[in-house]
Amino acid sequence: MMNSTIAGPTKFHEDDTRLRLPASKTAAQSSEEELHSFPEAEVSSIALENRNGARIHYTYYAASPSKPSKPNPFAKSLVVFLNGLILPRASWDNAIHTFLEKRIEGNLPYPALLSYDRFGQGDSDRDPNDAEPPPCHGHDVMSAVHDLKQFTLQIWKEHLHLSNPVNFPALIFVCNSIGCAIARLFAQTYPGTVLGLLFLDSVMANSDFVSLWPDPDAQGFDHTQLPPGVSEKDVRDTREKYRLMFHPSVPNMEGLTRRNLATLLPDAHMPRLEGCNGEGPFLTVVGHDWETFAEQSFTGTLHTPRLLTMTYANPAWQKYNEGLVGITDEGRAIGPIIAVGCGHFVQKDGPGFVSDELVSLLDRVVNRVEQVSERA
């Protein structure tokens, strides 16, 4: 069972994911209190320098404007949404729209928002350096990290104006799955650039996803230790299905290899990251809902018995998430918290949850508030 001290958010219903237009303005509102109009999305592409003309496709929302009497505290910040391997940047659309609606309705400032498809994903071109057609092991996560640095630099320069008088923004990463590993490696490679991190069910970077499960063919295996109703065949079949789909040796259509991921990030709790101003970044660690994930794993293509997921995969993932809290300074991390009703793809199952957690993270960032690691 889950640790009873872990508090999850209120469940979201289907109606919460529907996009609603911001409230209309009234004549009685003063110019200072006027609601901002809903920002227009810039849906475009950009050729990365030194990448042979290969283009990254992105969606960008400009930050809310600053006024002399009401400056935008996020004018020098950029929120970047980092995909996992499966879902493209479009998977963030509902969360982004919900976030913007709430900020506009509350007449609250917001930072620039950027989602994108990595090379080999969604609308973007293939990585020009990949030697083989997909699925392949064309490039690794460090290549994705360097591309992300160049991409954010070019985007920021392209949109630079007087309210953003810095050459590189303070980055806030909202990430799912392997996107969390990319964010960690980015902050490690470019210290002082990352202000905040929202991890949504991070990949277990040091796992081969097969050894999560007991090995019925190993010497000393004791079948009596299996959960009631689970057979050796169930475990053997689950190990094989996970090996074929999730082992780091398996190539993917993006061409983003995971073969060296465990070498790059061997521990959940380290290395400790250095964020802006020499301090650790503000961090929120989110895990999936155990029961939802077990149900989705059973009804999906793998048909993993629910009890196996509850007994082995979920506790391992929870332990990994508990370790992630240690990658920043004490008092700067929240979690792990549970995204109630959400499986691995938290942004798909709970866009309202993602929006609320981003709001919470931004509040901590702008107010420089240290937090306890668990929320009641």
Q: Which of 203, 234, 178, 200 is nearest to 317 (CA)?
A: 203
Helices (H) and strands (E) in the chain, counts: 10, 8
Residue range 165-192, pLDDT digits in tens: 567 899 999 999 999 999 999 999 999 9
We report the CATH number of the domain holding residue 158 as 3.40.50.1820
The amino acid at residue 140 is D
Is 311 contained in some domain?
no
Q: Which residues of 157-183 are buried (b: 16+ CB within 10 A; e: fewer)?
A: eebeeeebeeeebbbbbbbbbbbbbbb
Is 361 contained in some domain?
yes
Residue range 306-359, pLDDT digits in tens: 999 999 999 999 999 999 999 999 999 999 999 999 999 999 999 999 999 999
**Number of domains the chain contains:** 1
Is 249 contained in some domain?
no
Q: In whole angstroms, what is the distance from residue 318 CA to residue 337 CA?
A: 10
Res 70: pLDDT:
87
For residue 120, with 0-12 CB atoms within 10 Å meaning exposed, 13-18 middle and 19 or more buried, which class applies?
Answer: buried
Which is more confidently placed, 41 or 68? 41
Question: What angle (nearest 5°) sits at the alpha carbon of residue 87, between those of residues 86 and 93?
Answer: 170
Read out DSSP for 304-340?
--HHHIIIIIHHHHHHHHHHHGGGS-TTSEEEEEEET
8, pLDDT greater than 70 = no
Residue span of the structural domain in which 62 resides: 14-20+35-208+266-289+320-367
Q: In whole angstroms, what is the distance from residue 195 CA to residue 262 CA?
A: 25
Is 58 contained in some domain?
yes
DSSP state of 67: B
**Contact criterion met (CB below 8 Å) for 337 and 300:** no
Which is more confidently placed, 301 or 29? 301
Residue range 218-270, pLDDT digits in tens: 999 999 999 999 999 999 999 999 999 999 999 999 999 999 999 999 999 99
Is 299 contained in some domain?
no
Is 303 contained in some domain?
no
The amino acid at residue 193 is T
Q: In whole angstroms, what is the distance from residue 275 CA to residue 364 CA?
A: 14
Q: In whole angstroms, what is the distance from residue 314 CA to residue 296 CA?
A: 13
Query: Can you list the positions of beta strands (E) in 185-253?
Result: 194-202
DSSP state of 127: P
Read out DSSP for 81-114?
EE--SSS-GGGGHHHHHHHHHHHHHTT----EEE
Residue range 91-148, pLDDT digits in tens: 999 999 999 999 999 999 999 999 999 999 999 999 999 999 999 999 999 999 999 9
Is 119 contained in some domain?
yes
Is 306 contained in some domain?
no
| Radius of gyration in angstroms for the set of CA atoms belonging to the chain, rounded to a whole number | 21
